[in-house]
Amino acid sequence: MNLKHTTKYGAAALAVFVGMAASSGVAFAKKKFEPLNEAEFEQAKSMYFQRCAGCHGVLRQGATGKALLPKPNKAKKQKGTLKLGTKRLTKIITLGTEGGMNNFDDIFTKEEINLLARYIQMEPPVPPEMSLDLMKERHTVYVKPEDYPTKPLHNRNWQNFFLAIERDVGNIAIIDGDTKEVFARVKTGYAVHVLKAAEKNKVLKSKNPGRFWYTMGRDGLMTKIDLWQTPDKMKVASVQIAYDARDVAVSGDGKYVIGGGYWPPHFVIADAETMEPLKVVSTRGVNVDGDYVNESRVAAIYDTPLAPSWLVAMKELGQMWQVDYSDLDNLQITQIDSAKFLHDGFFDPTGRYFQIAANASNKMVIVDSKTRKLEAMIDVDKLPHPGPGANWNDEKCGPVSGTTHLGVGKVSVWGNDPQGHKSQAWKICYTVDTDGPGVFLRTHPNSDYVWIDQTKHPEPEVQQSIKVLDKKTRKIVKTIRVTEKKGYVAVHFEFNKDGSEVWVSIWNRASSLKPNGEMVIYDAKTLKEKARVKGLYAPTGKFNVYNRVNHVT
């Protein structure tokens, strides 16, 4: 199994994170278990970084997933991994749990699962910090802004491009939405989690929104992409701002780009033209329970359409920070208390209210970006996860939004229009049961349906099937089995520009450096398959240029 990063800084990032041998001060727990030798230790740490740290934390303190520490914590009702033992931990990793943890028997071998079960019974090592000077050393400009073309250097309909994440090889595949062919591949950070488009830029002002895109890799490498370039020149700049990271956003005026770190826990503001890092802000602090948190990770970042600010989700703190970028030298940050653990979210159609999941609290948190205050918290079911979210109109409740859940097969729908439908605002409108937990739902103003995945269910038949919800009847009208290939799941949805097509990823969750996945394209009205884009490398999320720039949800 090849677990190496393939980007310029990916190998270095992984080496720093997982390169500390057992002799570097890692303490073995007192209770007897089969210890790991140095090579096994390194392998297990690599596996944990790639597949477990996102939910359970770099320091294994837990967040969306439970804490994985050797010793029990009675106050938090945690048994400790030593008490669970290798046999029990192996079973959990192999089969997953009903609470939303995936099975890993289709990703790891029995021997690898055994290593991981033994590894999490050891004390977690603490990785190093990252300075601004080091970030500047890892900053590269490939095409100078003064050399950017003044018109597209190709004749493609770039506003209907799909930017698809090829997770394991560290690529973004640029797919022509009209011809259904891969037009270019751009080398980015490892396992890119998200991409954001610039609606403006300080050179071209408001012209050509969506031309420039920014990606964030799991290895903390931010990359700037220019869709007007020829395929070999689309990567125009990059900078590494962390060893482990998730999200990125561009300022509304196009001057700055911000990247949020999982480790170190900080966010970094860079020049949007050159990607030169300008300012580092620590996110360590005191959470909503009054406890100091050393590993306070940045989960999601979004530019606020109605103010010169970003909303930055502090996962472990249970706070949204509204960061005003109008004066970088005197940065103004409003800390908005809500609930833990903040994960991912999206705006309502007006661009005023940000709706984000607080996983562990089973709530959707609503922040008013205009008043910079908490608007509401909505009780939903176990472990909400809306992904990029979905907004639509309901005949009874008016404008609504929805979320899937990591812990239960259900979609929760709530009203989101306090001006026009005050009595329905921030209250559950209705719920819809599905066959299993999921991570994404998506719709389009021109579509009658909401598309829902069930990726978190451990059974292949459910993982590989998607649900189609009729907006008018509030009922599931079709279940589509996207694939029956062993080890593959159906995940993530994106509509094309006019909403006539829905693109679904077929993803092999096992790491692979070979083309092993594809996109399945459905007619958004008939729900029938139209086409496939094959030869993709572990495709996960994809982002349509027009829809993302215009906030089509």
341: in domain: yes
**pLDDT surpassing 80 at residue 16:** no
Pick 105 or 463 by higher pLDDT.
463
Q: What pLDDT shows up at residue 509?
A: 75
* Residues 74 and 110 both lie in one domain: yes
| Structural domain harbouring 273 | 132-151+171-452+470-477+495-511+537-549
CATH of the domain at 69: 1.10.760.10
Question: What is the C-alpha to C-alpha distance for residues 196 and 194, in angstroms, rounded to an integer?
Answer: 7
Average pLDDT of the residues in 205-230: 90
* Residues 69 and 102 both lie in one domain: yes
Q: Judge contact between 284 and 300, C-beta under 8 A.
A: no
Helix (H, G, I), strand (E, B) or coil at 536: strand
* Residues 269 and 410 both lie in one domain: yes
* Residues 277 and 374 both lie in one domain: yes
Q: What pLDDT shows up at residue 353?
A: 98
Number of structural domains found in the chain: 2
* Residues 354 and 429 both lie in one domain: yes
Task: Enumerate the H helices of 276-397 as residue ranges.
Answer: none
Lowest mean pLDDT among 16-30, 54-68, 163-177, 323-337: 16-30
**pLDDT surpassing 60 at residue 168:** yes
Q: What pLDDT shows up at residue 2?
A: 37
* Residues 224 and 256 both lie in one domain: yes
Residue type, 309: S
Q: What pLDDT shows up at residue 46?
A: 85
CATH of the domain at 278: 2.140.10.20
Q: Judge contact between 488 and 535, C-beta under 8 A.
A: no
Question: What is the C-alpha to C-alpha distance for residues 124 and 18, in angstroms, rounded to an integer?
Answer: 11
461: in domain: no
Q: What pLDDT shows up at residue 97?
A: 80
**pLDDT surpassing 60 at residue 271:** yes
* Residues 36 and 176 both lie in one domain: no
Which band of pLDDT confidence, cut at 50, 70 and 90, is reported for residue 416?
Answer: very high
**pLDDT surpassing 80 at residue 24:** no
Q: What pLDDT shows up at residue 207?
A: 64
* Residues 230 and 107 both lie in one domain: no
Lowest mean pLDDT among 34-38, 151-155, 396-400, 542-546: 34-38
Beta bridge partners of 218: none
Lowest mean pLDDT among 12-16, 60-64, 312-316, 404-408: 12-16
Q: What pLDDT shows up at residue 75?
A: 72
157: in domain: no
> pLDDT tens digit string along 196-205?
998 765 544 4
Q: What percent of the chain has pLDDT over 90?
A: 73
Q: What pLDDT shows up at residue 427?
A: 98
Q: What is the mean pLDDT of the chain?
A: 90
> pLDDT tens digit string along 331-353?
999 999 999 999 999 999 999 99
* Residues 96 and 217 both lie in one domain: no
* Residues 272 and 351 both lie in one domain: yes
531: in domain: no
**pLDDT surpassing 90 at residue 21:** no
**pLDDT surpassing 80 at residue 105:** yes
530: in domain: no
Average pLDDT of the residues in 74-86: 84
Lowest mean pLDDT among 82-86, 354-358, 501-505: 82-86
434: in domain: yes
Average pLDDT of the residues in 54-64: 84
Which band of pLDDT confidence, cut at 50, 70 and 90, is reported for residue 32?
Answer: low
The encoded tokens of residue 162 equal 């799909």
**pLDDT surpassing 60 at residue 429:** yes
Question: What is the C-alpha to C-alpha distance for residues 491 and 418, in angstroms, rounded to an integer?
Answer: 32
Of 98, 119, 140, the last residue of a domain is 119
Q: Which residues are catalytic?
A: 52, 55-56, 101, 343, 385
Which band of pLDDT confidence, cut at 50, 70 and 90, is reported for residue 307?
Answer: very high
345: in domain: yes
448: in domain: yes
* Residues 138 and 66 both lie in one domain: no
* Residues 109 and 208 both lie in one domain: no
**pLDDT surpassing 60 at residue 239:** yes
Q: Judge contact between 384 and 390, C-beta under 8 A.
A: no
